[in-house]
Amino acid sequence: MEVVKTENVTRTYKVGNVETNALRGVNLSVQSGEFTALIGPSGSGKTTLLQLIGCLDQPTSGKVYVNGKDVTNLNRNQRADIRAASLGFVFQFFALIPTLTAYENIEMPLLLAGKSASERAERVKYLLEMVDLADRGKNRPDQLSGGQQQRVAVARALATNPALILADEPTANLDTPNGKQVMEVMTRLNKETGVTFIFATHDPRVIQYARRVVTLQDGLIVSDSVAEKVEAVH
């Protein structure tokens, strides 16, 4: 199944009189279960593309489909509904709620989705185990390492069982061992739950985990390749 499709997507930003063509006609199709890296130089349009796929922004022209649904012209509320139902996000700066524990951060999307207390408890416990943090549920973000915080963020993104998780530079603020742990957790979740990942990154250590690498340059896809050494890496 096609989780994401963009058709001739452009995005032009206007600041004062200056226009920037951040995307200039992007056609991308991502199938369910993919583990795909979006790479390219700074300013090539990676974050812009993730924001369009994530229904956080709308294209200047072209079309965006998520789970087969045309999301191009949805209003703000409709886009929020798509995000809640189908999408999970992992950001560079983790974006956890500082006053809540790891457990409560992961629970938050389940509360918003109206899940019962017992469903929430079962799910959070499962997710904490999936990201190797079963013993850290009571810690607040400032009582966790960067890598642990990012794994909480990954668990939170997965909480409501989204079809797709979008991650923008998920390891940019992590050292090598922590970045590796986060990538290993994402790889395992992808394999075990089949959730689709698209992650933007500069980091060669992250790129090696990808099974498909899409390269953007100046707002266009300039290469799209399936990793050769998949079996060797995983």
Q: Mask 111-150, x = binds ligand ATP (CB under 6 A)?
A: ----------------------------------------
Question: Which residues touch 51 (CB under 8 Å, ≥6 apart)?
Answer: 57
- Candidates 40-48, 83-91, 99-107, 190-198: pick the segment binding ligand ATP (CB under 6 A): 40-48
Residue 229 to residue 97: CA distance in whole angstroms:
38
Confirm or reject binding of residue 46 to ligand ATP (CB under 6 A): yes
Q: Give the shortest CB-36-to-ligand ATP separation in angstroms.
A: 15
Smaller CB separation from ligand ATP, 47 or 190: 47
Confirm or reject binding of residue 43 to ligand ATP (CB under 6 A): yes
- Tokens found for residue 40: 């390219």
Residue 109 parent element (H or E): helix 102-112
Q: Is 44 helix (H, G, I), strand (E, B) or coil?
A: coil
Confirm or reject binding of residue 181 to ligand ATP (CB under 6 A): no
Residue 73 to residue 169: CA distance in whole angstroms:
27
Pairing of strands 18-31, 2-15: antiparallel
Amino acid, res. 74 = L
On whether the CB atoms of residues 37 and 213 are closer than 8 A, the answer is yes
Smaller CB separation from ligand ATP, 42 or 77: 42
Confirm or reject binding of residue 15 to ligand ATP (CB under 6 A): yes
Number of residues that bind ligand ATP (CB under 6 A): 12
Confirm or reject binding of residue 105 to ligand ATP (CB under 6 A): no
